[in-house]
């Protein structure tokens, strides 16, 4: 009988803790993801959703019910595949590639509260490159890797009270 009473108390405490955590979580609405690179714009939403979940908040689909609104903009994307002049001195392909792959991405994020005041704003850049066997890496790979780095840099300082 005593064990049964203790199990009810434990279940009741678990339910109360769950309700408290759920009630204290803020809701965030992704207002806009912009930029001129369609592949990065389309792949940015899962990154934002994962970040919102990792800081203990919930994603909402209703703007009016949100405590915060997030705007993400991919400001600049630059990719290149320049000729590797070292290849002329050391023709050891594929270790010394004929070309190298490079990408730079700049991301800016703004968070607004329910009244429209700016709570957080940050801009960060990321870069990616490959040298060893770089002929086998695509610009798309480098661009995605640079975006991931820029996104991590922009959200690492984000604080939502």
Given this model, what pLDDT does residue 161 score? 75
Q: Which helix (H) or strand (E) holds 111?
A: strand 101-113
Give the number of other CB atoms < 10 A from CB of residue 142: 24
Cβ atoms of residues 121 and 79 within 8 Å: no
Task: Look up the pTM and report it.
Answer: 0.79
How many degrees, rounded to 5, is the angle at CA 78 between CA 157 and CA 101?
105
pLDDT > 90? residue 88:
no
pLDDT > 60? residue 145:
yes
Cβ atoms of residues 96 and 86 within 8 Å: yes
pLDDT tens for 39-82 read: 999 999 999 999 999 999 999 999 999 999 999 999 999 999 88
> Model confidence at 115, in pLDDT bands (50, 70, 90)?
very high
Given this model, what pLDDT does residue 74 score? 95
Q: What is the mean pLDDT of the chain?
A: 85
Domains and their CATH numbers in the chain: 2-155 (3.30.160)
> Model confidence at 16, in pLDDT bands (50, 70, 90)?
very low
- What DSSP line would sit under 27-70, residue for residue? EEEEEEEEES-HHHHHHHHHHHHHHHHHTT-EE-S-STT-SEEE
Instruction: Quote the radius of gyration of the chain (alpha carbons, Å).
Output: 23
Given this model, what pLDDT does residue 112 score? 94
Given this model, what pLDDT does residue 156 score? 92
Give the C-alpha distances (Å, rounded to integers) separating 58 from 16, 52, 61, 73, 119: 19, 6, 10, 21, 17
Nearest-angstrom CA–CA distance, 92 and 86 = 10
Given this model, what pLDDT does residue 157 score? 86
User: What percentage of the chain exceeds 70 in pLDDT?
Assistant: 85
pLDDT > 60? residue 17:
no
């Amino acid at each position: 009988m005593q064990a049964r009473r203790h199990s009810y108390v434990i279940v009741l405490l678990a339910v109360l803790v769950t309700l408290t955590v759920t009630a204290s979580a803020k809701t965030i609405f992704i207002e806009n993801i912009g930029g001129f690179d369609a592949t990065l714009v389309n792949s940015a939403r899962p990154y934002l959703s994962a970040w919102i979940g990792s800081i203990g908040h919930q994603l909402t689909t209703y703007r009016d019910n949100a405590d915060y609104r997030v705007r993400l903009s991919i400001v600049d994307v630059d990719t290149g595949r320049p000729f590797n002049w070292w290849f002329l001195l050391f023709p050891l392909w594929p270790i010394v590639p004929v070309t190298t792959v490079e990408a730079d991405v700049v991301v800016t994020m703004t968070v607004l509260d329910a009244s429209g005041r700016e709570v957080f704003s940050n801009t960060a850049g990321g870069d990616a490159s490959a040298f060893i066997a770089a002929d086998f890496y695509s610009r798309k790979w480098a661009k995605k890797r640079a975006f991931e780095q820029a996104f991590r840099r922009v959200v690492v300082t984000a604080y939502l009270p």
